[in-house]
Structure 1
Amino acid sequence: MDSSGYEIRIASEEKGYGLFVRKAYKEGDIIFEEKPLVCCQFAWNANYKYLACDYCLRPLESAEENARRLTGKNDLILPFPECCETEKDLITECEDCGTKFCGIECQMDAWDRYHKSLCLQTRQINERHPLIQLQETWKQMHYPPETATIMLLARMVAMVNQASEKQSIISIFSEFCNRTTNDTQEITHNLLGEKFIGQIDVLRQMMQKALNTESVPKWFTPDGFQGLLALVGTNGQGIGTSAFSRWVKNVSALELPNDQRIQVDKNIDRIYDEMDEVVGTFLNCEGSGLYITQSKLNHSCVPNATVEFPYSNNILTIRAARDIKPQEEICITYLDECQLERSRHSRQKALSSLYLFSCKCAKCEEQVCDPDITSDEDDDEDI
C-alpha cells in the first residue's frame, strides 16, 4: 500500500494531472523529497568555473574558495572553517576524461547511468570532438541566464543506451509533458520560437553525429527532436547549489555571544554586497533536472508549497508554504520572485512562453481587469 502523504490524480481537463495531499500539513512541513531521474549543470555556468559534481551538482569548492572567486578577493579569509561542508579529500575524477565528482558513490552512479557512454566518446578531448562542438554550438545559441542545456538531452540518450531495459526508460521519459505547442491558444514553446527555427535542425544533426541515437530513433525525427527540446524546457527544474550559502547557514546556527554574532552577520552582509558588485545574482552552481513526481505539480501565482534544495545537491524538497488541508492540491510557482511581483500580463507572458498555458489561479482571476503591463516591465522582459 502506498504510504506517501499525497496522490496523483486528474486536477482538471485543462491542467491534467496534479498532486493532492492525503493528510494535513503545517506550514514548514516537508511533503516529499526526490532525486532527479537525470540532471546536468548549465554549460555557461560550468564555463565560468562554478565547480560542481558532475552527477549531483554538489559544489567542489570550499566556502572560502567560493567566496574568494565571487568577490574577486583572493586574500579573503572565512572564520569557522568547520562550517564548510565541502569534503575536498573525497573528490574523485574520471581517469579517462577528467570529469570531477564529489565522491566515489556519485562517480559510480554516473558511470552506471550515463557516463560510460559519454566518457567513451570524450576520451580524446579536443575542440573538434562532436560532443564538444555540440555544446559550443548550444552555448552560442543560448546565452546566460540559462534555463536548459543540450547536455541534459545527451544524458537522456546515454541513459537509454546504457539501460538493460531500454523501453522501460523510454516509457518513463514519455510520461513527461513534451508538447511543442498549445493548439487551443496557438502558443509555441520558447525554445522552439522563430529565432531558433534555423538552429534546431543543426542541433539535431549534431547530436546524431555525436551520439549513438539508434535506440531512440523517434527522438531524432524533426518532430521528435522538437518534442525532446520541449520536454526539457517544460519540465526542467532549476537546481542551485552553493558552498558559501551552506557555510552561512551553518554559521547562523552557531551559538555565539551577541557582540560576536553582530560582527559575523555584518561581515556576511559585506561579503554578499561584494559578490553582488562582481557577479550580481549569479551566485550558485546552476543546472536543470527532470523529477518524475515534482513534474506533476501544477503552478499557482499564490502557491501553497515551495521547491528547495536544502542539502546543496540535486535532492529536491517540496515544503508547505502555509497550512494545507487534506485533499487540497499542492501547487508551486514556476516563476521566480521578481516575476511573481509583476503584472498579470507579464506573468501570463512568461508562463505561456515557457510552459504553454495561461494561468487561472486565484491571483490571476482577481487581476483579470487590471492594467496589462507597465512600460518598465515591457522594457525589462526577456523571456
Structure 2
Amino acid sequence: MMEGYEIRISNSKKGKGLFATKKFAEGDVILEEDPLVSCQFAWNAAYRYIACDHCMRPLETPEQNVRRLANKPDFVLPYPDCVDIGFGQPVPCDQCGVLYCSEGCRNKALEQYHRTLCHDPSDAQHPIVLLLDTWKQMHYPPETTNIMLLVRILAYIHQSPQPDEAASTIKRFCHRTVNEDAELVHKLLGEQFTSQMNTLREMTANVVSGENVQEFVTPDGFCSLMALIGTNGQGVGSSPLAAWASRAPQLPLSDDERRQLDALLDHVYQCVDAESGTFLNTEGSGLYQVQSACNHSCSPNAEPGFPHGNHRLQLKAVKDIEEGEEIYISYLDECMIGRSRHSRQKELALNYLFVCWCERCMSEASDPDVTSEEEMSEEEISDADD
C-alpha cells in the first residue's frame, strides 16, 4: 500500500481506480509523480519552443519568452526576480546537441531512451526526421497526442536492463479490445486511418526495432500503443510568461503600480496572440503510472497540475476526500465539463468509448438529451428562441 492512496479494482465496468487510504482536505496534495516517459508535441517543438528535451522545463526567462513570442527583441519585463526559472546554463547532448535543463536530465534521458534515439536533426533522411515530417502532415495543431511519445515508449523498453518487465509495465496501460483500440485510433487519425496506420507503423519500426519491441510494431500491437498514447497520455504544459503573470500580481504593489501591471499584461497577451496565436506554452504529453489509474467524473474531487514548471505531475484534492473514497479527475477540459450531460456523454463516448455514470450524470439523467447552447449554431439558437 502506498502513502495515502492505493490502486485497486473500482468495479467491473471501470476496472482499476485510485482510492484514498486516508482523508484529504480540499487543497491537499495527494501525490507527485514523474512520468515513465514524456515528450514535447511535434508542432510545438517545430515552432522553436525552447525546453528541456527530457522534463520539458522551459529554457528561457519570462522576458526572453515574451520577446520571442511577441517578436519584440527589446521588450523589458518588470519584476524579473519574482519567478525562479529553475535552470542554469542549458546542457546539450554531446552527439546531437538537443538541450537539457541539467546534467541530471541529460543523464536520465541517456539512461532511459536517448541512446536509442540520438540522431543528427539536420539529416533530412534520418528515420526520426522522416517520421516526424509524416506525422505533422497527418496531424495538424492543436495536437492531442504525439508519435514521439510512442517512439520513446519503444526506446524505453529497448534500453531497459529488464526489457520484459518494461514491456509488462507498458502493457498494464492497455486494457481495451482490438476493435476498441482501432475505433479510438480511427477517431485520432481520421478517414485515412488504415493507410496512415500502416505508414506510421512501418516508419516507427525503422526507428526502433529488435526482439524486445517486436510485439509492439505488429498491426495490433501498434494500434494498441496508438490508442494508449491517445487516451492515457496526460497533457503537460509549462510557460515562463504564465508563471510570471500569476506571481507578479502577488507582489506588494501600490494601486498605481497594480494598474500599470494590469495594463502591461493585457498588452503583452495581445502582442503574443497576434504573433504566435495558439503556440503560447511549451506543451506535450507524458505517461504516468499512478495518475493514469484515476477514473473520470464530471464532478471530480482531484485535479492534476504542474506547479514545478516541468513534467512532474501533482495531483491535488479540489474537494474533501474521505478515507476509502475513490479519487476522480475529469478527462474533459474546463469548457466541456461545464456543458450539458448530453454534450459530455457525447464527447466521452467519442474519445474514450464509455458512458459516464458519475454522481453528476446520474443526478442529471432526467435532463433532456439536447446539446449545450455553447455547441449550437447561431441558426439553431435562433430557431430555439422562436
* TM-score normalised by structure 1 residue count: 0.91
Contact map agreement 2:189 2:196 (CA 8 A) in 1: no
The alpha-carbon distance between structure 1 residues 77 and 178, as it changes in their structure 2 partners (threshold 3 A), is farther
Work out whether residues 70 and 278 of structure 1, in 8 Å CA contact, stay in contact via their aligned partners in 2.
yes
- Aligned-pair distance for 1:128? 1.2
Which amino acid counterpart does residue 336 of structure 2 have in structure 1?
Q
Deviates more, 1:82-91 or 1:210-219: 82-91
Match in the other structure for 1:341: 338
What's the RMSD between the two structures over aligned residues? 2.2
Q: 1:290 to 1:346 in 2, by over 3 A?
A: same
Query: Please, which of 163, 167, 175 is the counterpart of residue 164 of structure 2?
Result: 167
Q: Check if 1:101 corresponds to 2:100.
A: yes
1:353 Cα shift? 2.4
Cα distance in 2 for partners of 1:301, 1:269 equals 32
Who is 1:197 aligned against? 194
Q: Where does residue 276 of structure 1 map in the other structure?
A: 273
Aligned runs of 1:135-146 on 2, under 5 Å? Answer: 135-146=132-143
SS in 2 for 1:270: helix
The answer to whether the Cα contact below 8 Å between 2:238 and 2:282 also exists between their aligned partners in 1 is yes
Shift of 1:90: 2.1
Contact residue 213 and residue 220 of structure 1 kept, 8 A: no
How far apart are residue 193 of structure 1 and its match?
5.0
| In 2: Cα distance, 1:118 partner to 1:254 partner | 44
**Post-superposition CA distance 1:298-349 (Å, at most 9, x none):** 0111111111100110010111111112211110001111111223233223
Counterpart position of 1:232 = 229
| Match runs of 1:218-229 below 5 Å | 218-229=215-226
Quick check: 1:262 aligned with 2:270?
no
State the match for 2:241 in structure 1.
244
- Say whether residues 1:373 and 2:371 are aligned partners: yes
Once the two structures are superposed, the pairs formed by residues 65-76 of structure 1 within 5 Å of their partners are 65-76=64-75
Structure 2 counterpart SS, 1:303? coil
1:156 aligned residue? 153
* Cα distance in structure 2, aligned partners of 1:25 and 1:295: 19
CA contact (8 A) 1:85 1:247 kept: no
Rounded to whole Å, the distance in 2 between the matches of 1:241 and 1:329 is: 28
1:293 aligns with 2:287: no
Give, in whole Å, the separation in 2 of the partners of 1:70 and 1:342.
32
Superposed displacement of residue 79, structure 1: 1.0
Q: Secondary structure at the match of 1:264?
A: helix
Q: Which letter does structure 2 place at the counterpart of 1:287?
A: G
CA contact (8 A) 1:10 1:16 kept: yes
Q: Give unpaired runs (5+ residues) of structure 2.
A: 379-386
* Alpha-carbon spacing, 1:182–1:297, altered in 2? closer, same or farther (3 Å): farther
Structure 1 residue matching 2:212: 3-state secondary structure: coil
Number of aligned residue pairs: give it. 375
Instruction: Name the SS of the counterpart of 1:371 in structure 2.
Output: coil
Please tell me whether the aligned partners of residues 178 and 220 of structure 2 are also in contact (alpha carbons under 8 angstroms).
Answer: no
Q: Is the 8 Å Cα contact of residues 181 and 188 (structure 1) preserved in structure 2?
A: no
Q: Name the structure 2 match of 1:302.
A: 299
Matched, 1:354 2:312: no
For residue 56 of structure 2, give the secondary structure of its aligned residue in structure 1. Answer: coil
The match for 1:318 is 315
> 1:78: which partner in 2?
77
Q: Does structure 2 conserve the Cα–Cα contact (< 8 Å) formed by 1:182 and 1:357?
A: no
- Which residue in the other structure is 1:9 paired with? 8
**In structure 1, C-alpha distance between the alignment counterparts of 2:130 and 2:273, rounded to whole Å:** 33
Shift of 1:192: 5.8
Shifted more, 103-112 versus 169-178: the winner is 169-178
Distance 1:187 1:152 in 2: 20
Return 150-159 or 32-41, whichever deviates more: 150-159
**Sequence identity of aligned pairs in percent?**
47
In 2 relative to 1, CA 201–378 (structure 1 residues): closer, same or farther, beyond 3 Å?
A: farther
Is the 2:301–2:321 contact (alpha carbons within 8 Å) kept by the matching residues of 1? yes
- SS of equivalent residue, structure 2 residue 117: helix
- CA contact under 8 A between 2:178 and 2:224: conserved in structure 1? no
CA distance in 1, matches of 2:38, 2:53: 9
Q: 1:265 to 1:213 in 2, by over 3 A?
A: farther
Deviation of 1:220 after TM superposition, in Å, equals 1.1
Separation (CA, whole Å) in 2 of partners of 1:329 and 1:132 = 43
Question: 1:131-154: per-residue Cα shift (whole Å, max 9, x none)?
Answer: 100111011111111111111111
SS at structure 2 position matched to 1:286: strand
- Structure 1 counterpart SS, 2:141: coil
- Structure 2 Cα separation of the partners of residues 177 and 302 of structure 1: 26
Separation in structure 2 between the aligned mates of residue 322 and residue 157 of structure 1, nearest angstrom:
38
Shift of 1:88: 6.1
* Compared CA separation, residues 3 and 222, structure 1 to 2 (3 A): closer
Q: Is the 8 A contact 1:157 1:213 kept in 2?
A: no
Query: Does 2:309 align with 1:329?
Result: no
Matched, 1:134 2:127: no
The one-letter amino acid paired with 2:214 is: P
Q: What SS does the corresponding residue of 1:90 show, helix, strand or coil?
A: coil
Given that 2:43 and 2:136 are in contact with CA atoms closer than 8 Å, whether structure 1 keeps it comes out as: yes
Question: Structure 1 residues 271 and 124, CA, compared in 2 at 3 Å: closer, same or farther?
Answer: closer
